Structure 1
Amino acid sequence: MPLFVVPTPIGNLKDITFRAIEVLKTSDLILCEDTRRAIKLLNHYNIKVKMLSYHEHNEKSRLCEILGMLDRGMKVALISDAGTPCISDPGQLLICEAIKAGHEVDALPGPSAILPALVMSGFPSSQFSFLGFLPEEKASRQRFLISLRNLPHTSLFYVAPHKLKRDLEDIIEIWGDRKAALVREISKIHQECLRGFLSDILDGSREVRGEITLVVDGLRDTAIEEEDESWQKVAVNMRKEGMAIKDIAKILSESYGIEKNRIRKFVLGRERMEEGRDESRE
């Protein structure tokens, strides 16, 4: 019996497939992030199946127990609080280990915020990158954004409301002020799509709440051809964060195609200039 990966509604409870309901109703066990949230969906569709909590804090400790159930031929379904498991939710570890143990994995199609947000944005959708949540630590966040700044196609991020201002500021600093769309509360009562430039969204970021997907336009050919000195601002901020000059030079050289020596000279020259200003004030 395969491990069934079942997407669940991200807002409207009607956004679930007939097959998903059938799989859940006929399962021996349903793995869920939060049993209190899962029970609302199960009660709505009169699904009476045993639940077992499976989340980021216990996914390792529960692994052997769940694999043992699969070994015994039990029908196990994996759901997350909303959307598709593994997409910024627990499940990847279990799926990998189940495959290693020789079990099939059947992933059902279903709800996810990514595709509705992409379509509603109006940006090109033939190619796109889903980048998930940005790293928590600022230096890691900057390195991540720098490494992807030249993507020519549409990019999508998940953003927590209380981190929206932080993430927008970093994206603008490193990627520039591109066209973007903020899509929130997909399939819920207060669904909304805000379109404009990143700076426009930043101006209104204090009022934005709910589940957020940020869609950013790709880098256009004309922008690549223009002389770009934005790396200098990034270098200054990296230095303020305490990063070594050699590391700054390595990262920016790889991401911007600039000679390391040029980057080192810029950072050192700026620091000498700042030191000179401080001495003149004494």
Structure 2
Amino acid sequence: MKLRHSAIDILTTADPALKVAKSRELASAWRAGAVEQGFTPAHMPDRPARPERPELCRPGDMPRRKASGSAAKRIALLHALAHIELNAIDLAWDMVARFGSDDSPRGFFDDWVRVGDEEALHFALLSQRLQSLGAAYGDLPAHDGLWSAATETAHDLLARLAIVPLVLEARGLDVTPTMITDLKRFGDSESAAILQRIYDDEIGHVEIGSRWFHAIAEKRNLVPVEAWQELVKRHFRGHLKRPFNTAARDTAHLPADFYEPIAG
């Protein structure tokens, strides 16, 4: 097995269950030393393969996600989160295949293979929970703007790190605790436990993003905080939303002096 080719194979796999299985198998094989790091040239897809369902809609056409006491509202929330996690699987493997090279340190691949594995687990947990509620991933429309951050930053690893883990995943740290609290309040402890697992793992993902952002910025003789703010202004469509979960962000080594000066 070769890491880049296996990562591209996951990206071009449309079926979500098969994408999850391949992700977890590749991560296990990588940890066991059964995958070659060698990076021969390979064509990178512009966007990952997707199943026929769900229907993909413009971001502005999607309702706001919020937990409530009704099963339908909770299904809608879990479906939206499952779609985010499916995209997150591909973002991790795109990081490996697009930005990895023979010169990349082993630790870079260890980190992003771990992220791909954990995102696959998250999607599987959400998919199983949807099934237990009488639903399935694909039953509802989903947001088609989630890959835009990957397209916008496909040219530069530092930009990708700035936007995906340090803006998008960091935003998840801000909003997930409220979702967990709401689900518990409505008696859905099973869904709350899944979101807690996702939240705990995502702190680690943001920390990985921060660590590699700092390392690469410093290698380029850039001041990390200044470089991050400039890249966010240039490549992030929107503004950083308050309130911030400063405790979780601090744990993930994303301090307030990065995001507070440019927050909306």
Is TM > 0.5 for Structure 1 vs Structure 2?
Answer: no
TM-score, normalised to structure 2, is 0.25
Higher strand share: 1
Rg larger in structure: 1
The higher relative CO (CA closer than 8 Å, separation ≥ 6) is in 2
Higher helix share: 2
TM-score, normalised to structure 1, is 0.24
